Every structure is written in structure tokens, then in C-alpha cells.
Amino acid sequence: MRIEDGDRVSASRQHLIFAYYVTGHGFGHATRVVEVVRHLILAGHDVHVVSAAPDFVFTSEIQSPRLFIRKVLLDCGAVQADALTVDRLASLEKYSETAVAPRASILATEIEWLNSIKADLVASRVSDVVPVACRAAADAGIRSVCVTNFSWDFIYAEYVMAAGNHHRSIVWQIAEDYSHCEFLIRLPGYCPMPAFRDVIDVALVVRRLHRSRKEVRKELGIGEDVKLVIFNFGGQPAGWKLKEDYLPAGWLCLVCGASDKDELPPNFLRLAKDVYTPDLIAASDCMLGKIGYGTVSEALAYKLPFVFVRRDYFNEEPFLRNMLEYYQGGVEMIRRDLLTGHWLPYLERAISLKPCYEGGINGGEVAARILQDTAIGKNYASDKFSGARRLRDAIVLGYQLQRAPGRDVCIPDWYANAENELGLRPGLPTIEMNDDSSLMSSCTEDFEILHGNLQGLSDTMNFLKSLAKLDSAYDSGKNTEKHKMRERVAAASLFHWEEEIFVARAPGRLDVMGGIADYSGSLVLQMPIREACHVAVQRNHPSKQRLWKHAVARQHAKGQGPTPVLQIVSYGSELSNRGPTFDMDLSDFMDGDQPMSYEKAKKYFAQDPSQKWAAYVAGSILVLMTELGVRFEDSISMLVSSAVPEGKGVSSSASVEVASMSAIAAAHGLNISPRDLALLCQKVENHIVGAPCGVMDQMTSACGETNKLLAMICQPAEIVGHVEIPGHIRFWGIDSGIRHSVGGADYGSVRIGTFMGLKMIKSIAAAVLSRSFPCSNGINHDELEEEGGELLEAEASLDYLCNLSPHRYEALYGKMLPESMLGETFLERYADHNDSVTVIDQKRSYGVRANARHPIYENFRVKAFKALLTSAASEEQLTALGELLYQCHYSYSDCGLGSDGTDRLVQLVQQMQHNKLPKSEGTLYGAKITGGGSGGTVCVIGRNCLRSSQQILEIQQKYKGATGYLPLVIEGSSPGAGKFGFLRIRRRFPPNQSVASLQSN
């Protein structure tokens, strides 16, 4: 429902009392509440505001005896280390401390207080996303409404992924609290909020202006000839020192929230802490700050260009940012340019914008009228959603949430469009490998192929077509999908079309068997999938490279002439909330006359999480410098376009690494074997990205073959062959919709526990061998035979857990391993776990027995699976193969790497398998979670027939019915990067020459 009527809130014949709870996160919520509260008071009502925000936030706009302020903190929002950085684990811990531990006393106190102020006329209670307030109102028998653009269950769902699933109960409780709210008044730029029963959309809530632009400038003594930027980060963080040369000549900066102790340059003006910022925003030429509802809404309302710097780990931001950019009001500044003062190109770009928001700005007035009407008895909620109802599971943009029954999960158009552009939405026509003559002809008309072969791959042909169309990205007047413009325009300025471009392709992979046992030395079986990453690379002399304006400004600031620069554009950036571009001087990779260490590189890329993705791409350059001694004298321009879905456990990162390194190597004449290239790419991920993965992902992406399973023993990377997939067997991947990350807490902790187990087994073997192990543990030293001693010697020096057989594990070690062990205890006893890519947290407890057992048995299962694949086709063969998948799946769960979504998919496969008609042959036979677990994709094995495909589609629809998410189905195979080789191309017809004069971010 959307309400747009702008009439004033008419005075009610009833005198109403409202309790308005405001979240403790930042001032933005409090400032938007002011506008709603002001209209309620104008209509003759009393409003009790419950907030930890300073009084002046409310009293500077509202001076009325009907306003009551109660200082209470009922939630903590997001804990910020500074204005741009959220501490995810600290946020969850603080919320537990603030709202979870004292929950019973909070509810009792709030119920008592609500009853104490209501008298006979209390009819409504409002919350600006404070979850517990909704439950308190319900328990007090008072109707409640929320007014917001985001909810904390969606925000915290991301933090849970980083901190571990043991925090998930926080998200569940918040959703349950919200479900007691009668309806949601939803503001523009909203996030998905599925827990609310009903929704009413209103216009922007914006504080009114008190003075005109001319009046404000006159009071400040600033003429119209002076350019004015307002610096608005919610308080100047410690360590940010502003300098005079950050501003161009003729500019002044108004600084909000600066400490009285901070010295400001003469062209920076300190504003009072209680200053009324809307007037100053309207008097400025642009704003520089972080994105929040208050800043974005007021920038749009008063048509002020907004130069923004991304905040880390705050899920509200991409929705507001896309709204800002859609109305052509935003310019993104790279964080390092903010901190080093390279502001000029961004400010110049900002004042050239013409923001075009023409929507309503009376959301506060409309919201107040809805609240008044609700208080006097009007029912805005739909009947079908009325009353308390049990929440259902919801998977939204990769996060596990809860949803009200009957509610569709609202995904914004820009997100769906970005997925469609990359071909990731389920139900789209599949990309078949065939010789499409018309598409092939079109490609050869656009480009001269100087080396390589398209191999009939239509995704590669489509990539070349997208390259040929890049010049049209500048025709913004014809581009209605504004969210695409930034990455397309940036990409269009990358290449000199008369010069050669090198293109590489690397697929993702479906983990059929092996998974997390790779780092324990297991045999693995991996299938290269149809979806792939393409990377285009061009070398240019530094004097010829087309640099983005901020890169030019950076070189000028260093007093340098042209120097080699790396510029990267990554398509699909909105799907994972990352910056679409990255650039750096290649000299930054040098530490004196040697390449910088991997540890320094890891810190370099981690400085700005929105650009950390560049480590997967640019890290290839440093690894080539360090491992092969390559030096890069030319500038490098790269375009990355991946159709391998991110966060779904199908090796999107490995495909980017392999395609990037392959393209860079081709452009520089480096001949690297696919196996060696995969090992180099693993160094990128382990040491520069900092993700503790094994090598099977990179090996499959580099060395895989179409319609074959790559068989590899990960000790460290011995390819033992390619196993042909029998014609009667087919594999599918079904995405659970739950984001997976090998850098997440659960994957890393399982890996640490596994290496702890290895160290303990070696220690036990050494102790038994030396007869120092007590006989009470069931070991009879006198019965040790000579061959037993040899086995113990081998086990005491075990390199990989998978070299221990299951029967030896059960006979000697299984019962001796502890279920878990505290990190501190392990280090005291064993000193180190001997894994170079993980670090033990002394205060954390790690699972040991299940984590050590898994790779030992998984290696056996993979060997059996490989042997069965080559056996005679039969029902028994398929049943046995499926059973091995099921066993693997439940072993993952024992390690703590399962998830609700993947478990649900495996159960649906089992239902299909066991519900077959009597005497009929089955079609689906087994399924398992894949890769690093904790979400991601399930691998399904079945008979290669039409009925199997129909059953996969049935599972897809049943899963959507249960979770609201229609899963992506992955099927088909394609060649690895080694089989594809590379393309060397040159444009046949030069694009629109006008693009050369347009250098833009």
C-alpha cells in the first residue's frame, strides 16, 4: 500500500499519547523522527520520545510542552570503530549485552512504563526499529507501528555470517519482536524487511528548511562566488587531520561534529554541535560524507550533489546508494583519496551533476496522519495479515531471515537487473556450447581474432559483444538503467581500441566429492561448470594509458610524470556491495627494490573492504613478481566479468583468480602451465586475500575438461586423471541462497580443528611408539609387532590426515581425540598446529574429533565413488553413488558446516528419491553440501533423463515455497582455462571517437 496524500494532519477530537522509541544507532534516526513527532504535536497530541540521542536533536526543532524525552538505551545498533567502520562481532556482543541478557527486565520495565503514561487515551506506540519495544507494546495490549527504511534483523544477518552461526538466535529474536508490530510505514530506499506483517509506503521524511540559501550564506559571511561543501560524517573521527590543500581554490568546507580540540585549516569552518544542518545543506554546493537515511534524504530533497565514501558492513547502504545514484545525485569517493586529500576530481564531478529527484518530501506529515488514524481505531493492516502468526523461513539476498506468512520478499529492481545482466537468475535460457553462426559472425565482425579459438562458447561470444558495445555506455541520455552507468562508463574508458586486448576465461566448479578434505590431502572429484569468468587485459605505455581523473590527480600530487598504473573494472559489483573500480600505482607493490611481502599486501587491500575484491585480481600481479621475478613496466587495464555466482560455493573467487592471472600472463608473454598457474592462484587466495582454502578450486578452474570430473590428490596438487561422466549420469548444483564464504568463521575454525587433530594423532603415534603412552588407554605395548611399529613411525610423521586409513583411525586414535579443545590449552600442549594460513584464537574452543574424522572417511568415500563411476550401469551403481553423497553431507554437519537451507534441499532430494512409484526406477539418488559448507550449493546426482530435470524443477519450486527464494540451478560443463587458452583480439571498427575525450569514474 502506498499513501501519498499531502494534506496536513488535522487536529483530532481525541487527545492522544504516543510513545516513540528511537534506535540507539546514530543521529539519523532521531532526526527523521523529529519530523513525524513535530506533526503529531501540531495535531494536539503528546509524544514521549524514548531515545539515547542528545536532547538538542529534538528540542532544536520542537519547543513544546507536549514533547517528553526519556533517556533510555534499548538497543545499540552497530558498534563503529570510526565513522566508516563497523565492528561486526562487537555489534553482536553489544546487542546481546544491551538487549538480550536483560530482556526480561527490559520488557517488565517498558510494559510498566507504557501502562503508566497511557491513562485512558493512549492508543498507539511507535518504534523507529527498536525490536524489543514492539514486543513490550504487545504484552501491554497496545497497538504498535514501525517507521523505517531498514530493520536490524537484516543488518545483523550479515554480521552473523562473519561471527558464526551461534549468534543466529539474535536475528531470530529480532524478527519475532518485529512480527508483533501491526504494520510498517516504509520509507524510500528501503531494505528487504520480511518480518513485518503489512507495509504502507510513504514519501521521504525530510526536515523542513528554516532559512533560505541566501540567508544562511549571509549569516556565515560567504558570497555566492564561493563553492561550499558540507563535511558530514556524524562527527570527525580521531586521526582524520584535515589540510588546507584538500580543497580547491575558491572552496570552503563546513565541518559537522568536529571536536573543539581539533585545529582546522582556514578554509574549513567548524560548526556548532547543535547546528541545524538542513539549512546548511541547502546553502551548500555539495556534501561530502557517509551514506545514511538522513544525509541521502536531505541531499535528494534539496537537490544537493553528494560525494560519499562507503561504510563497511552496513547493509542499509547499497539501497540508499542506489536511490541516490538513480536520481543522479551521487559521486563515490575512494576511501584512500578521502584520507589523503585528493578531493578535487570528486568535487568537480559533483558540481557538474544535476540531481533529478522530484518525488514527495512530506513523508513525516503522512506518517503522522497514519499514526493518528491508527490510534483512533482505523485499521490499515490487511485482514489476511492481522493477528499474531508464526514466522516462516526466508532467504533474502543470501541471508537467513524470518518472514511473515503471505508476504512476498521485496527485492529491489536494481538487484534483479544486475543478476539478469550476468545471466544468474534461475529460469533463464541456458548457455549452450554450440556453433551459433550468427553470434560467431557478429563477433568476427567486431574483432579480429589474432590468436585463439572461441570454441563455440556462446558466453565468450557474448563477452566480446559486450566489449564492442562499451562506447555506447557514454550515451547516458539513452541509458535508463542508471545503476549500470558507473561500471560501464568506467569500462568504456579502459581500452585503446586500436591496440591488442587479451581475453582469458576460467569456469567455476561443482564440488562433486572431496570438498573441505582437500587441505587434508584427499582425492577430490570436481566438475568445471558452464558459468565462467572472463577477463580482458591490455598493456599500454604509461604515457598512453587513459587514466581516471582521480588517478591523474594522484600522480600530479606526487609530482610524477606518467608511471605504470593498474586500473580494474568489475561488473556486477552491486550483487556483493563492492566498489565497481579499483586503481593503484604498480610501484605500490614494491618495497624498496623488492616486491612487498604478502602480509603487507593483505593489509593494503584490507584497508577498504569495498575494494578488497581487488586482491583476487591485482594479487596475481604481486604473486608473479614474487614467485617468478616478473617486473611490470607498462600500465595494465583490466575488465572482469564473471557469471559464476558469488557466495554460492562454486568457486567464484578461484575463477576470477585463474582468469585474471591467465590474461595477465598472456598479455606479458608468460608461458605458465595450468597446474603451476593454479598453485600460484592459491597463493593469491591464501596469502593476499587471506582465505584459508585448499587448491582444488583453482586446479579445477585451470585444468578442468568439459563433461569430465577432475581427479586430483591434494598433496599438494597431483592430477591423477579426468574421469568421464557416464552418459546415464548427470550432476546438478542447486543453490540454497545462503551466502557461503571460505573466509568465514565456521570454515576457518573447522580447518584449525582438523589440523589440531592431525597434530594430536601424530603425537599419540609418537608416544605409543616410544612406549610413553599409558597402557590404560587400551594399548598393549607387548603386542606391537614389527609391521605395527612401522605403521606407527609413518603415522608419527603424517603429512596429511587422508593418508591415515579409516580402520587405523578407529583402531587407535578415534577414541583418544577430544570432542573439542580450547585454543589456549592446545597451544600449551602442542605449541602449534602447523597450518600457515590459519591462526588459533586462544579464547575459542575448536571441534577436533569430528573435524579430524571427516577427511579420513571422505578420502575413502571419494575413492569408492571414483571406482563406482567406472562400473557397469545399474540401479545399484546409482544408489551407491547417491549414498556416498549423503554420507558426505551429514559428515559436514557433524563438523558444524551444515546449514538449514542445504539440509532442506537434501531432504527434498530424499523425498523425490523415496516417493517413486513401485517397481519404477529412480531418477535422483543423492545430494550433498559442497565446497566450504555453511550454505552455498548442494550437488545432486541423478539419472540423465527428462524426469530428473522435472524433479529438479519441482525441488526448486518447493524450496521457494518454503523460503521465498527461487534457487539457481547449475548444470552443464565447460573447459578449464588451460583448455581454453587465450584470445588475442583487435577491434575491427573503432568505436565512437567521442569517448576518448570523456574520462570519468
CA 468 to chain centre: 30
E strand residue ranges, 860-982 = 924-929, 937-943, 969-970
- Sign of the dihedral through C-alpha 497, 500, 506, 507: positive
Query: Strand, helix or coil at 180?
Result: coil
Query: Strand, helix or coil at 286?
Result: strand
Helices (H), 302-436: 317-326, 335-340, 344-351, 363-375, 413-422
Q: Beta 501-513 vs 983-987: how paired, if at all?
A: antiparallel
- 512 membership: H or E segment, kind and range: strand 501-513
Q: What is the DSSP letter of 205?
A: B
Q: Is 697 a catalytic residue?
A: yes
Q: Would you say 499 and 483 are in contact if contact means Cβ atoms under 8 Å apart?
A: no
Helices (H), 782-848: 786-796, 806-808, 823-830
Residue 970 has phi, psi (to 5 degrees) of: -105, 120
What one-letter code names the amino acid at 371? Answer: L
Q: How far apart (Å, rounded) are the C-alpha atoms in residues 903 and 892?
A: 11
Those residues with Cβ within 8 angstroms of residue 350's Cβ, 6 or more apart along the chain or in another chain? 285, 286, 305, 306, 307, 331
- 641 membership: H or E segment, kind and range: strand 635-642
- Which residue matches cell numbers 587405523? 808
Give ∠ CA 617-967-685 in degrees, rounded to 5: 20
213 pairs with which residues across the strands? none
- Which residue matches cell numbers 559483444? 465
Q: What is the 3-state secondary structure (H, E, C) of 894-925?
A: HHCCCCHHHHHHHHHHHHHHHCCCCCCCCCEE
Those residues with Cβ within 8 angstroms of residue 924's Cβ, 6 or more apart along the chain or in another chain? 882, 909, 912, 913, 940, 941, 942, 943, 948, 951, 952
Give ∠ CA 452-454-456 in degrees, rounded to 5: 150
- Which residue matches cell numbers 565462467? 532
Q: How far apart (Å, rounded) are the C-alpha atoms in residues 418 and 426?
A: 13
Q: What is the DSSP letter of 43?
A: T
Q: How far apart (Å, rounded) are the C-alpha atoms in residues 117 and 140?
A: 12
Angular region, 397: left φ>0, alpha ψ -120 to 50, beta rest: left
What one-letter code names the amino acid at 853? Answer: R
User: How many residues in the chain?
Assistant: 1001
Catalytic option among 75, 583, 697, 746: 697
Task: Look at residues 495, 501, 498, 471 and name the one whose alpha carbon lies nearest to residue 992.
Answer: 471
Q: Would you say 442 and 424 are in contact if contact means Cβ atoms under 8 Å apart?
A: no
Task: Look at residues 982, 964, 823 and name the one whose alpha carbon lies nearest to residue 396.
Answer: 964
Residue 792 has phi, psi (to 5 degrees) of: -60, -40
- Which residue matches cell numbers 503522512? 366
Q: Would you say 304 and 282 are in contact if contact means Cβ atoms under 8 Å apart?
A: yes
Report the catalytic residues.
697
